[in-house]
Amino acid sequence: MSATTFTEPHRVVYYETDDTGHLTLAMLVNLLVLVSDDQGTDLGLDTAFVNHLGVGWVVTQYHVQVTRLPELGETVTLKTKATAYNRYFAYREYWVLDAQGQTLAYAEGIWVTMSYATRKIATIPTELMTPYGSEETTRLPRLPRPARLPQDADVRIKPYTVRYFDIDNNGHVNNAHYFDWLLDTLPADFLRQHQPTDIRIRFENEVQYGHQVTSEVVHQDHQTLHQIKVGTTIAAIATVDWTTN
Amino acid sequence: MSATTFTEPHRVVYYETDDTGHLTLAMLVNLLVLVSDDQGTDLGLDTAFVNHLGVGWVVTQYHVQVTRLPELGETVTLKTKATAYNRYFAYREYWVLDAQGQTLAYAEGIWVTMSYATRKIATIPTELMTPYGSEETTRLPRLPRPARLPQDADVRIKPYTVRYFDIDNNGHVNNAHYFDWLLDTLPADFLRQHQPTDIRIRFENEVQYGHQVTSEVVHQDHQTLHQIKVGTTIAAIATVDWTTN
């Protein structure tokens, strides 16, 4: 059996782009979650159904490879499938395609179900995976891990406070906001002149409304190493490879 | 002659809503600009054409009246017309309609053209208004002005730094971000338990990337009075009326 693919069109509009007119990484991640949700709803697995089982889906890791970020006004196709899963982890793949069907971005995500009762990772309910035609396997693909920041590096730090509007309908901070915190530490001119080609991110601990987070970055050649911390606790680590525009 | 109306559908998705599952005011304002842009493009007045005339459109004031904020998953109709204009100001109206054609929100906006050469308000080029069937008039409707903050009031203040991703494709801070700064000063529980019914905002001075802004609010009964400042300069003032959910 092979997992069902789901596609939907998406038009890139001005508030989804940066000042170069390209889709932001934060919005790209929003679109990955959107197409996942929409596939779930299409298969009768909407949020209400998932929550009814006492769990909620949470992403723990992404690996995103970008050929070209979509531009303002471009209509792209979002495509996904829930490729495989085991007892605790679901592996999902994504494609962003241009009008000619060329892949602009390819992403992989690791999802887990969190129990509302225990606030811990729960066994994935079978009824949440069966409709996807997802393969049950003991060996899931592993996503490349982001690198830890070197101890003696020159670290650039910016503080951010988690805002009310960073929280989405499931009561959690929308993961996409991490990308604004991560990348805003880099100089504007660098962001204008470079495009991310490979993004690895791992979410380790949840941040909450009102938390003060620090976004730390080490810049070495064509790579930036990031971490988001709340006090001394690491909330997320990420590595981004860049190319010159 | 009467101004041409333009409509388009919009589906409210999870990253456009707050933790109560309602469209945020920031996103509502994004949608007002989106439908304006789309009408312009539809009439051959896209951003490239506007910029070719040496000017760019900027909003100076909004008055928004909300009956009900659209909910997650709801498909609404965005409707607009460029009702009237004079030498320096264009008056535009907006409606957000539900599936039954009921008005969920009605908004009015005052737009001006800024000269790229002088960075000042320019006479609106006639060729930018003619295609809309917009009425040229000496007497434009006046939008209600937001109130100034009382001198002796109990002011709540929060600082925000303008981020790279707050700048949109025209090189300016997207006005919608003002609403995140304005409303994030209010307690989360207040925002969860109340809905804005009437929003009056006036943009007085531009904020720039890297600026530290302060968002100040005075809360009295069912009304909040806001200002955004850069140092001692007022960037925007706003008044919001609220109702209990």
Question: DSSP per residue over B161-194, as a string?
Answer: E--GGGB-TTSSB-THHHHHHHHHTS-HHHHHHE
Q: Is the pLDDT of residue B127 over 90?
A: yes
CA A127-A133-A137 angle, 5° bins: 85
Average pLDDT over residues B94-104: 98
What average pLDDT is seen over chain B?
Answer: 95
CB B194 within 8 A of CB B244: yes
Query: Which of A19, A169, A210 is the closest to B14 by Cβ?
Result: A169
- Which of A93, A101, A109, A108 lies closest to A77, judged by CA? A101
| Packed helices B176-184 and B25-42: angle between N→C axes, nearest 10 degrees | 170
Using a CB-CB cut-off of 8 Å, the residues of chain A touching B174 are 14-15
Distance CA B207, CA B214 (A): 11
Average pLDDT over residues B63-89: 97
Tracing tokens 């007497």 back to the chain, one arrives at B139
Q: Establish whether this prediction's ipTM goes over 0.90.
A: yes
| Packed helices A176-184 and A25-42: angle between N→C axes, nearest 10 degrees | 170
Residues A169-195: tens digit of each pLDDT:
778 899 999 999 999 999 999 999 999
HEC string of B3-56 equals CCEEEEEEECCHHHECCCCEECHHHHHHHHHHHHHHHHHHCCCCHHHHHHCCEE
Distance CA A78, CA B145 (A): 43
Q: What is the phi/psi pair of residue B108, to 5°?
A: -125, 140
Residues 27-46 of B with CB under 8 A from A: 27, 30, 33-34, 37
What pLDDT was estimated at residue A1?
A: 60
B93, B96, B102, B106: CA torsion to nearest 10: -40
Query: pLDDT above 90 covers what percent of chain B?
Result: 91
CB A165 within 8 A of CB A173: no
Average pLDDT over residues A58-68: 97
How many CB pairs lie under 8 A apart between chains A and B?
88
Q: How confident is the model at residue A29 (pLDDT cuts 50, 70, 90)?
A: very high
CB B245 within 8 A of CB B233: no
Cα A62 to its chain centre, rounded Å, is 5
pTM: predicted TM-score of the whole model, two decimal places? 0.96
Distance (Å) from the C-alpha of residue B186 to the closest C-alpha of chain A? 9
Which 3 state secondary structure label does DSSP give A139? coil
Chosen for mutation from A59, A164, A177, A185 (greatest number of chain B CBs closer than 10 Å) is A164
Average pLDDT over residues A51-71: 96
Whether B33 and A14 lie within 8 Å, measured CB to CB: yes
Is residue B188 less than 8 Å (CB to CB) from chain A?
yes
Which 3 state secondary structure label does DSSP give A180? helix
Radius of gyration of chain A (CA): 18
Chosen for mutation from B10, B12, B14 (greatest number of chain A CBs closer than 10 Å) is B14
Using a CB-CB cut-off of 8 Å, the residues of chain A touching B24 are 165
Closest residue in B to A192 (Cα–Cα): B164
What pLDDT was estimated at residue B1?
A: 60
Q: What is the DSSP string of B97-138?
A: E-TTS-EEEEEEEEEEEEETTTSSEEPPPGGGTGGGTPEE-S
- Which of B18, B33, B62, B228 lies closest to A15, judged by CA? B33
Q: How confident is the model at residue B152 (pLDDT cuts 50, 70, 90)?
A: confident
Tokens found for residue B19:
């933790």
Tracing tokens 């909910």 back to the chain, one arrives at B71
Q: Is the pLDDT of residue A224 over 70?
A: yes
Beta strand B156-161 with B90-97 is unpaired
